[in-house]
Each structure stands twice: as C-alpha cells, then as structure tokens.
Amino acid sequence: MLKNPTVHSTVFQLPELEVNIEEDVLLVDKPIRCTSFDIVGKVRGIVQRKANRRVKVGHAGTLDPLATGLLIICIGKKTKQIDQIQQQTKEYTGTFRMGATTPSFDLEHPVDAMMPYEHITREMAEAVAHSMTGPLEQAPPLFSAVRCNGHRAYILARKGQEAQLETKSITIYEFELTRFELPEIDFRIRCSKGTYIRSVARDFGAALQSGAHLTALRRTRIGDYRVEEAIKPIILSSGERPDNKKETE
C-alpha cells in the first residue's frame, strides 16, 4: 500500500534513549506529517533491540498526522496504565482558518467550500467559545477511526460513502481565544478524552454563520505530563505542506 505523502512525508530518528525495558513511560514531541504509530514503531525497534526480545510498546492517545505535540509511549509493564493515562484531561493549542471548510476539517484534504467571515467580531467569537464550554454532545469527523457498521469511518469516507456517526459525550473545560486576526483565530482548549478538535473547528465555524478548519494543532499537556518534558525527534527530512496551503492563508 502506498503511503499518503501528507501523512508520512516526515523522515525522523529518535535520539539516544535511556529507557527501562521492563517498565517505562516515554514522552515524545511528535512532529508533523507522521503518525502516532510511526513513533511507536521507532520506540519498539529501539527497545526490542536492547532487550533482544519482544517488548510491549503502545501509546496513550493518538495524535492526527498533521498534529504535533505530546505523545505518551508506554513500555513493558507500564502499558497496563494506558487506559488510566487516556482518561486524563488534555490541552491543545492551534489555529482555526475561518471562512473555509475541508472534508476532514483540517489540511489533510483540500478546501471544498468558501464562505464569508468578515462579519465575525472578536466578541462574537468569544461568545461562541463560551457557549461551547462545558458538557457537549459531539459528532466525530467522518475522516476518523470511529467504527460505523463494523468499518472504520475514514475507510467509508475515502470511498465517498456517507455515514451517520453517533455523537459522543465530551467536556470542554476551557476554550480560550489567544489571537484574533481574521481569517485566523488561535485557541487553547482543555478538554476530556474523546474530544475531536477538528470537530470543534467545524462546530465553531458553523455557530458563527461561516465555516472553519484546523491549520495547526498541538497537544501541550495530558494530565500532569507536559510537552516541555518530551524528547524531540531528529528530523532528517520533511515534506512540503499540503497543496491547499495557498487557499488557507
């Protein structure tokens, strides 16, 4: 199967790791344009070469390929804590591009619709952010790993098939707008497990009688784990931004 260059174009290696192959938690600052499983595969290879045997390695909460930031890797006996870590509150920062939508609600797919955004004021945007704070029912993106009729939703989406995904109960604890320079709005969100920030972008744009998609997303915190404490992969080469860059600036 050919790899999607938007997803897999970053070539990287990990720095020298000092890990306990029996049980350890490793924090990694995931780069853009690679998957969470790309990181897990690199760590697993290093750990198993050191151990000269199979070692359980897994992540405690995936990040989309175009997102960056904190990825928690559990090794050996610590994989038993993955569910516990996943339940913790998460924090993200990023950028909404107003007045344009994409099928995936981010830059993985080209812009499919444009709409006015000039009517949006900071006061209006702040009011919508406030209204989206608290317990919510959220519909996941069709381009996601959520199962629908026994299939991953993104597989149906890539085939052009429509699917009705059930809403999920989530909580947004904080929704702060940190920069307002239309057509871009920067944000910081603290939320519960299962929150799709891409869906927040969709709902935020719709509530402002416009549209929106993510042009940047970074996970900065999971519980007490912070991205500042994470190791940074060594980037050997990185691909260009997706083709719709010119349409979203």
Active site residues: 64
Rounded CA separation 92/43 (Å):
24
Q: Which residues, 6 or more positions from 48, have their beta carbon under 8 angstroms from its beta carbon? A: 54, 55
Rounded CA separation 56/78 (Å):
9
Rounded CA separation 162/177 (Å):
33
| 68-76 and 212-222 strand pairing | parallel
HSE of 55, CA atoms in CB hemisphere, 13 A: 27
Owner of token pair 């381009």 = 143
Residue 142 backbone dihedrals phi, psi, to 5 degrees: -65, -35
Closest-CA residue to 19 (of 47, 52, 60): 47
